[in-house]
Structure 1
Amino acid sequence: MRLVRVGLHSQGEPLALMRTDCHVCRSEGLHARARVEIATGGRRVTARLLQVEAGLLNPHEIGLSEDAWMRLGATEGAVATVRPAPPAASMSLVRHKLYGGALAQKDFTAILGDVQAGLLSDVQLATFLSAGAALPLDDEETTALTRAMVVVGDRLSWDAPRVMDKHCVGGLPGNRTTPIVVAIAAACGLVIPKTSSRAITSPAGTADTMETLAPVDLDLPAIRRVVEAEGGCIVWGGAVRLSPADDAFVRIEREIDIDAEGQLIASVLSKKVAAGSTHVVIDIPVGPTAKVRTAEAARGLATRLSLVGARLGLKVACLLTDGSQPVGRGIGPAPEARDVLAVLRGEPEAPLDLAERALALSAVLLETGGAAAPGTGADLARAVLSDGRAWAKFAAICEVQGGLRQPPEAAQIRAVTAHFAGQITAIDNRRLARLAKLAGAPGNPAAGLVLAVHVGDTVAKGQPLFHLHAASTGEIAYAIDYWTGAPAITVAG
């Protein structure tokens, strides 16, 4: 069959389009949503089949989505062979877990091998992730999954006795400390090759925010060049094959809105090991509407992260932090980037809570990395931030990554005001994140919202609570409709 690029975007799942009356569908008994293997030029891809009637394609043509086209490295009009895809043998292991069985190292290796080869459909991937959420992975399984996730990808190594990293488990809008922490650590001489993810269920991931300031889709040689030049980088992990199976998991987790603890631990630590890190500081925000709701749950997660990390040769330090409300003012890629710039530049209006959280994390990182003696990390971090060394280092990192740029501005900005005077007694992180996503974040980097209040503030009637940033009035309207039915900020009169 001849290949046709149909320009269909499928969010990571390879799709193939064939006519219902084509000879392959008839001879092989293929039906819509079947799995097909397409091969040409020595490369192959497994795709989900969609069927069309006459008109869009000729009988001897097969249309490919953008994801399938790129994976196959196809050329328009090239001849490809098409056959039913062989079943993924590892699904028997997924079913074993689903029915309450435990999985061993070899089992996870087999499953991850099929994930990396593209043999598991999105439905099958969702089944695997759901099984690990409903029947939580124990420490042995979590360690085995983490090792398997490292094995199927590339690994970096560095000529340094200590390679630092920092991570946040998420669930707290605006908590964009990574660029600040990396700048402080690198300015103090530490090696910190930071690979970050895009948003899973949030309005912005670190990579989304950083991309409004500098290129983040660097390959491995480029990452090495940046780190060798400046000591650190802040890049998108999905652009390289560091724990690549996790990228497939993240895409499905975004769809089904789950982030099970065992999978979270494996996702975090596999990327740290693959990046060549030896020491990592992990921020665990705790609050009633954060990802981790109680201090007890946070301590349990911290214990597991440290235990699994130790088994993989990582020294893990966890900080339990306040997750009762968003950090900073911006929520969304560009609004958060402006907060980061304000803190690094020492601007008078810089959000103090973001700066203080970044300094606390930096203090632990500096002491763990040997750049500061025990008990002196906080003073060193504050000095490096206040005297401009952190800003100079961040600007230098951005330049080597491809050039520092200004975050984009939203075309539409609308204030949402208080209906009556009172005190802000609570802010719902999840609802506020949903508002920012309805405004267009993170797909539109300029979209999101900018908070005007925090818990404890008093407001007058008509005073802005936040400003929505969006590309269109329609998106503003979507967000306001949601706000009307589910206000995220509680004002007690």
Structure 2
Amino acid sequence: MTRERHCLPLVRAEIDTYSQPVVFMHQDCHVCRAEGFRALTRVRIACGGRSVIASLNVVTGAGWLGPEAAALSDAAWAALRPRLGDMGQFSHPELPEAASLIRAKVYGERLHQAQFATIIKDAMAHRLSDLDLAAFVTACAGEHLSTCETIALTRAMQEAGRSLEWGEGPVLDKHCVGGLPGNRTTPIVVAIAAAAGLVIPKTSSRAITSPSGTADTMEVMAPVALDTAAMRKVVEAQGGCIVWGGALRLSPADDILIRIERPLDFDSDGQLIASILSKKAAAGSDRVVIDIPVGPTAKVRSENAAEALSARLRATAREIGLDLAIHVSDGSQPVGYGIGPALEAMDVLKVLRRTPDAPGDLRERALVLAGLLLEMSGETAGVERARVLLDSGAAEHRFMAICAAQGGFAEPAEAPYRIPVEAPRDGVITAIDNRLIARVAKLAGAPQQARAGVLLMARPGTLVQRGQPLFEIWAETPGELAYARDFANAQKEIFRIEVPK
């Protein structure tokens, strides 16, 4: 069989498959028939000295793609970079070595660093399908990664990317394990630390299972998709930055795993630790504060769970050379007033600008975390020093300078569509369900729609009357507004309201 029998001209499908290379071929295509390709088959495509392994989607009708060409998703097109009409050569890829290792993990075997490195290498080379990766993520969930395996996975993920260096002196970082809507302390902490003359090159992620990640919120106010050279210029000029880590490829394997975890809507302690600490080490940080909110509807539900997570974080950090401080905080209710990128940005700015309506809980949380970082750098009274930097306006000034250096500051905009959700009865609010209120914000469009989310109008301890607004849903389209409203109205325990005895 000649080489041409395995070739087809390549066209662009103009379909976003969320970083997964996908190839579309007609069921009557001669290559499909010759090679025995079926739907979801892993296919190797070579073109112009480059190659990619893609998942096959089969077109069955006489529609947009005939049997005479193959169409590439955005991710596959970016990997191959063909010119329109270039020929692609198709073949079966070799079975990835990682496949047997994932199977071993599914059946409970413990893996060492070299084996994790093989899985990471094959994942980054797109030799693993999303089904393979989902099996790996699931096999590592719960308590299925030991501390030794967590350390091994962290090292494998760190070594798969590149690491930054910042010269002499402490390099700071801060991270929250998540699960607490509105807990957007990072921009405030970075501003305070940088105003104190410290180095804090903060790389942040976009939302995985929440209505907003730090990068999503920061992007409302300034560009975050900086490359390494641009990031370095910001840090050299201002001492700190808040950028999206995905653009830097410091721990690229983590971005692949996050893509799988997002639709699954879970992550495990071991993978959470490997994700956090591999990125901190790769970013060049050596002193890190970790915030662990604990509450009945937070990601970490109990003090015992927080202690177990803290122990594994400390053990892993020690092995990879990070000085770690852990702050266990109250995760019983959302922080601030806003949930969603723009709404959280508004809260951040109110704290930095010291306005009378600034959320006090967000302010105090940020001061405590900034104080811990300052003390790790030699300050004796970190919280007091942080308070002076915030109250004097020095933190606000530094934050605005960081935004300008990253590409320019923009004020957060309000959503065009809003509707209140009212109290169904008189009583005292005794609790807010973090997961349900976050779900409302996501159904309203957050974080993809930056102005979407939830504005809290009442907090636990408040006496409310029937018909009084509890929160307001913000959306960018009427359809998303109605979808979120219907979900909110169907839930009985987003706000727990009890009659005073």
TM-score per shorter chain, which class? over 0.9
- What is the distance in 2 between the residues matched to 1:190 and 1:306? 23
Select the residue among 19, 22, 47 that pairs with 2:54. 47
Select the residue among 408, 413, 419 that pairs with 1:414. 419
Select the residue among 421, 440, 445 that pairs with 2:450. 445
- What is the distance in 1 between the residues matched to 2:51 and 2:358? 51
Deviates further, 422-431 or 85-94: 85-94
- What is the distance in 2 between the residues matched to 1:75 and 1:351? 53
- What is the distance in 1 between the residues matched to 2:161 and 2:209? 24
CA contact (8 A) 2:43 2:55 kept: yes
- What is the distance in 2 between the residues matched to 1:224 and 1:331? 31
Q: How does 1:75-90 map to 2 (within 5 A)?
A: 75-90=83-98
Name the structure 1 match of 2:14: 7
Q: CA deviation at 1:362?
A: 0.5
1:125 aligns with 2:133: yes
Name the structure 2 match of 1:489: 495
Select the residue among 148, 163, 176 that pairs with 1:155. 163
Q: Structure 2 stretches of 5 or more lacking a match?
A: 1-7
Structure 1 runs of 4+ off > 4 angstroms? none
CA contact (8 A) 1:98 1:135 kept: no
CA contact (8 A) 2:421 2:489 kept: no
- C-alpha deviations, 1:350-405, integer Å up to 9, x for none? 100000000000010000022x22xx111110010011000010000011111111
- What is the distance in 2 between the residues matched to 1:135 and 1:353? 33
Deviates further, 11-20 or 376-385: 11-20
Name the structure 2 match of 1:474: 479
- What is the distance in 2 between the residues matched to 1:151 and 1:455? 45
Name the structure 1 match of 2:463: 458
1:258 aligns with 2:266: yes
Select the residue among 33, 38, 54 that pairs with 1:31. 38
Name the structure 1 match of 2:429: 424
1:245 aligns with 2:253: yes
CA contact (8 A) 1:136 1:261 kept: no
- What is the distance in 2 between the residues matched to 1:26 and 1:459? 68
Q: Which amino acid aligns with 1:215?
A: P
Q: CA deviation at 1:317?
A: 0.5
Select the residue among 2, 22, 26 that pairs with 2:29. 22
Q: Which amino acid aligns with 2:432?
A: I
Select the residue among 399, 404, 414 that pairs with 2:404. 399
CA contact (8 A) 2:143 2:268 kept: no
Q: Which amino acid aligns with 2:272?
A: L
- What is the distance in 2 between the residues matched to 1:255 and 1:74? 30
Normalised by the length of structure 2, the TM-score is: 0.96
Name the structure 1 match of 2:112: 104
- What is the distance in 1 between the residues matched to 2:177 and 2:143? 21
CA contact (8 A) 1:6 1:65 kept: yes
- C-alpha deviations, 1:117-157, integer Å up to 9, x for none? 11111111010010011552111110000000011111101
- What is the distance in 2 between the residues matched to 1:111 and 1:245? 10
Name the structure 1 match of 2:4: none
CA change 1:283–1:134 in 2 (3 A) is closer
State the SS of the aligned residue for 2:419.
strand
Q: Which amino acid aligns with 2:244?
A: W
Q: CA deviation at 1:75?
A: 2.5
Name the structure 2 match of 1:178: 186
Q: Which amino acid aligns with 1:364?
A: L
- What is the distance in 1 between the residues matched to 2:53 and 2:462? 55
Select the residue among 190, 193, 203 that pairs with 1:195. 203
Q: How does 1:292-441 map to 2 (within 5 A)?
A: 292-370=300-378, 372-373=379-380, 376-441=381-446
Normalised by the length of structure 1, the TM-score is: 0.98
State the SS of the aligned residue for 1:324.
coil
Deviates further, 474-483 or 300-309: 474-483
Instruction: State the percentage of identical aligned residues.
Output: 55
- What is the distance in 2 between the residues matched to 1:75 and 1:339? 47
Counting matched residue pairs gives 490
CA contact (8 A) 2:143 2:269 kept: no
Q: Which amino acid aligns with 1:72?
A: L
| RMSD (Å), alpha carbons | 1.1
